[in-house]
Structure 1
Amino acid sequence: LEEKLQQIQQALDAQDPAGFLDAEEAMLTCVFERAGNQTLMSFIRTLWARSRYYKMVGVKDVFETGNIALLYDEAAQFVAGATTQDEEMALDALLTALKRAEDGIRAELG
């Protein structure tokens, strides 16, 4: 997970939204695959692929405003929760990221 977090930081440093989403999905995959549910993982990957446009829209404003530290902080909180098995912390990080993305999509699409 620390390696995936470094990849997220590299994508953010490069101002690469697509690279960020790839690295974020790789990080989440590390955790989700631990559940051992291949059907669920297949569903998640399909959902990610189908929602890629909206995911890009969801991070666009963060990159445009230069507030990319926010994206790193969300990922770092998730990693901290996952590595310490603090389910509440990990879930809180996911919900915060989803809310931020939702707000970005709503702002962009009106």
Structure 2
Amino acid sequence: MESQAVKLGIGQCDGVCVKELEEKLQQIQQALDAQDPAGFLDAEEAMLTCVFERAGNQTLMSFIRTLWARSRYYKMVGVKDVFETGNVALLYDEAAQFVAGATTQDENMALDAL
């Protein structure tokens, strides 16, 4: 579902979207620096939402949000594991790649980061 939201929304990523993505990427960095898993997940979901909502499909967005909510515990465990192994840069790099793909409307780059 997230891949479909990227495919539908990336072409609509305008200057407002780019600005939002850059702000969310800064929030991701701050959460990673603070080793705040919940803050990271909140910022990451907000970043993805910037593009996903531009797909214009509220049903798709509703399903994605439901899945995020239901899988939150497992995502939190995964992020905590990344913090413990010291691979925090990987999380930032994936987010930065997604932002770069969305900013340039490069669907493949955004999908690879997703």
Q: TM-score range by the shorter chain?
A: 0.7 to 0.9
Structure 2: distance between partners of 1:38 and 1:75:
23
Structure 1: distance between partners of 2:46 and 2:108:
21
Q: Does 1:19 align with 2:68?
A: no
Two-structure CA RMSD over aligned residues (Å): 2.6
How far the C-alpha of 1:60 sits from its partner, in A, is 1.8
Q: Which runs of 5+ in 1 are unaligned?
A: 93-109
TM-score, scaled to structure 1: 0.82
Number of aligned pairs?
Answer: 93
Question: What are the superposed Cα offsets for residues 63-102 of structure 1, whole Å, 9 maximum, x if unpaired?
Answer: 011221110000000000011010000001xxxxxxxxxx
Question: What are the superposed Cα offsets for residues 5-43 of structure 1, whole Å, 9 maximum, x if unpaired?
Answer: 000000001000110000000000000000000010011
Q: Which runs of 5+ in 2 are unaligned?
A: 1-20
Structure 2: distance between partners of 1:48 and 1:33:
15
Overall identity of the aligned pairs, in %: 97
Structure 2: distance between partners of 1:47 and 1:25:
12
TM-score, scaled to structure 2: 0.79
1:32 matched residue in structure 2: 52
Structure 2: distance between partners of 1:53 and 1:30:
23
